[in-house]
Amino acid sequence: MNPLITPADLAALDGAVILDVRWKLGGPPGRDSYREGHVPGAVFCDMNADLAAPAGPGGRHPLPETGRFQEAMRRLGVSGSRPVIVYDEADAMAAARAWWTLRYFGHSDVRVLDGGLRAWRAEGRPLSADVPEPAPGDFTARPGGMPMLDADTAAKLAYDGLLLDARAAERYRGEVEPIDPVAGHIPGAASAPTTENVDPAGRFHLPEFLRERFNTLGAVPGVDVGVYCGSGVTAAHQVLALEVAGIPAALYVGSWSNWVADPSRPVATG
Q: Which residues are catalytic?
A: 229
Beta-bridged to residue 185, according to DSSP, are 268
d(CA 112, CA 125): 17
d(CA 215, CA 146): 21
From residue 223, how far is each of 19, 144, 159, 203, 219 by CA, in Å?
Answer: 34, 21, 11, 27, 6
Q: Are 250 and 147 in contact (CB under 8 A)?
A: yes
Residue ranges with strand state E in 34-161: 43-44, 84-87, 110-113, 148-149
- 17: Cα separation from own chain's centroid: 18
SS3 2: coil
CA angle 130, 141, 257 (to 5 degrees): 85
d(CA 120, CA 221): 36
- Residue 269 CB neighbour total at 10 angstroms: 12
Q: Are 78 and 107 in contact (CB under 8 A)?
A: yes
